[in-house]
Amino acid sequence: MDDIVKAAIAKWPNVPHCYGWLGLDARGNWYMRDDRAQAAGRFCAPSTEPGRQLASKGSLLKHDKLIDFIQRNYACDAEGQWFFQNGPQRVYVELEATPFVWRIGSAPEFEVTSHANEVAIVQRCFIDEHGRVYLETALGFGLVHTQDMLQVADAVESGLWVLQEVVARELPLQFGYVRSPEAGQRVLGL
């Protein structure tokens, strides 16, 4: 966490948390969700209405320095809710899939990096009923980017990784993360 963020927390310790305004999609992209995006529905929630899912996603963040700031100050609380510490305010993140999105380098190293460009060491490899691949690392649990499935296949074929089957809907409980902190707040009536 940035020193300036730590100083802001110390100076203003009781700033209310923010929910629903920031999302991380399954490809490692950050989205700002204004009032209109939030009114359109949950982040990346499936919809039968054309365009509704895109509207609920919000605006894709493209400013590199802002994205770097978010990623340097991205962390998890004791309940498994991921957030961006924006100065004294904790901005909880809506996750389309998992807290991390992994990119995989080519053979023979198959270097794994997070959406925040952090290097990770694979502990276990999983595949769900939809064919999506996940990695558990010391940094945390995450989905492999769709563009890197060839590298995953090569790592599995070479015997470096062994796929274990999992059920997608059970992943948040199994790996201790919350996909929608905002939904939890609605349940609590806050």
Burial of 121 (0-12, 13-18, 19+ CB in 10 A): exposed
Predicted local distance difference test score (pLDDT) of residue 45: 64
Predicted local distance difference test score (pLDDT) of residue 40: 86
Full domain range(s) for residue 167 = 100-175
Burial 4-34 (b: 16+ CB within 10 A, else e): ebeebeeeeeeeeebbbbbbbbbebbbbebe
The dihedral through the CA atoms of 22, 116, 83, 45 has a sign that is positive
Which tokens in the block code for residue 150?
A: 């060839």
Q: Are 148 and 53 in contact (CB under 8 A)?
A: no
Task: Give the CA angle between residues 159, 161, 165 to the nearest 5°.
Answer: 120
Please check whether residues 13 and 93 belong to one and the same domain: yes
Please check whether residues 111 and 78 belong to one and the same domain: no
Instruction: Quick: pLDDT tens for 111-126.
Output: 999 999 999 999 999 9
Please check whether residues 18 and 91 belong to one and the same domain: yes
Please check whether residues 182 and 93 belong to one and the same domain: yes
Question: Cα(84)–Cα(99) distance, rounded to whole angstroms?
Answer: 12
Instruction: Provide the number of structural domains found in the chain.
Output: 2
Please check whether residues 88 and 123 belong to one and the same domain: no
Please check whether residues 93 and 18 belong to one and the same domain: yes
Please check whether residues 61 and 110 belong to one and the same domain: no
Predicted local distance difference test score (pLDDT) of residue 132: 97
Instruction: Quick: pLDDT tens for 71-81.
Output: 999 999 999 99
Ranges of residues in the chain with a pLDDT under 50 are none
Please check whether residues 84 and 106 belong to one and the same domain: no
Please check whether residues 33 and 93 belong to one and the same domain: yes
Please check whether residues 66 and 7 belong to one and the same domain: yes
Please check whether residues 69 and 110 belong to one and the same domain: no
Q: What is the pTM of this model?
A: 0.88
Q: CA distances (Å), 122 to each of 15, 63, 141, in order?
A: 37, 30, 10
Predicted local distance difference test score (pLDDT) of residue 178: 97
Question: Cα(54)–Cα(177) distance, rounded to whole angstroms?
Answer: 24
Please check whether residues 91 and 18 belong to one and the same domain: yes
Residue with tokens 């296949």: 153
